[in-house]
Amino acid sequence: DAGVIQSPRHEVTEMGQEVTLRCKPISGHNSLFWYRQTMMRGLELLIYFNNNVPIDDSGMPEDRFSAKMPNASFSTLKIQPSEPRDSAVYFCASRKRQTNTGELFFGEGSRLTVL
């Protein structure tokens, strides 16, 4: 079975440009999480969805960040405009939310570098 699929794997862009990261969760999973990982701050939760509905976006740094989940098989994280401090590895993860023991399955991450 395919795991969580993220694209692009690597992106290098210049400050001020728009960045869109994409995620396809595992089929049948009904919860999707976006995390950002840096050496300084570790793995930070940005936003998560249950049944395509955003539940908590308190981790989104500022208005430059937005996330959507138009259907159960696709989500995007957009940064506009991007800044050098946004450079990080962005992970998407999904799980089947049935009990409080659901395993999170992570994608391989999207490494973003903003120059």
Partner 1 sequence: TQLLEQSPQFLSIQEGENLTVYCNSSSVFSSLQWYRQEPGEGPVLLVTVVTGGEVKKLKRLTFQFGDARKDSSLHITAAQPGDTGLYLCAGEADYNQGGKLIFGQGTELSVKP
Q: In terms of Cα–Cα distance, which of 77, 97, 90, 88 is closest to 28?
A: 97
The answer to the question of residue 97 lying near partner 1 (CB under 8 A) is yes
2: Cβ contacts below 8 Å, ≥ 6 apart: 24, 26, 27
How far is it, in rounded angstroms, from Cα 75 to Cα 64?
A: 17
* Interface with partner 1, residue 25, by CB under 8 A: no
Q: Which of 91, 94, 112, 114 binds partner 1 (CB under 8 A)?
A: 91
Q: How far is the CB of 31 from partner 1 (least distance, A)?
A: 6
Count the site residues for partner 1 by CB under 8 A: 27
Taking the CB of residue 103, how many other CB atoms lie within 10 A of it?
7
Q: Is 12 in the site for partner 1 (CB under 8 A)?
A: no
CB atoms within 10 A of CB 74: 14
User: Binding of partner 1 at residue 2 (CB under 8 A)?
Assistant: no
> What is the binding site for partner 1 (CB under 8 A)?
4, 31, 33, 35, 41-45, 48, 50, 55-56, 91, 93, 97, 99-109
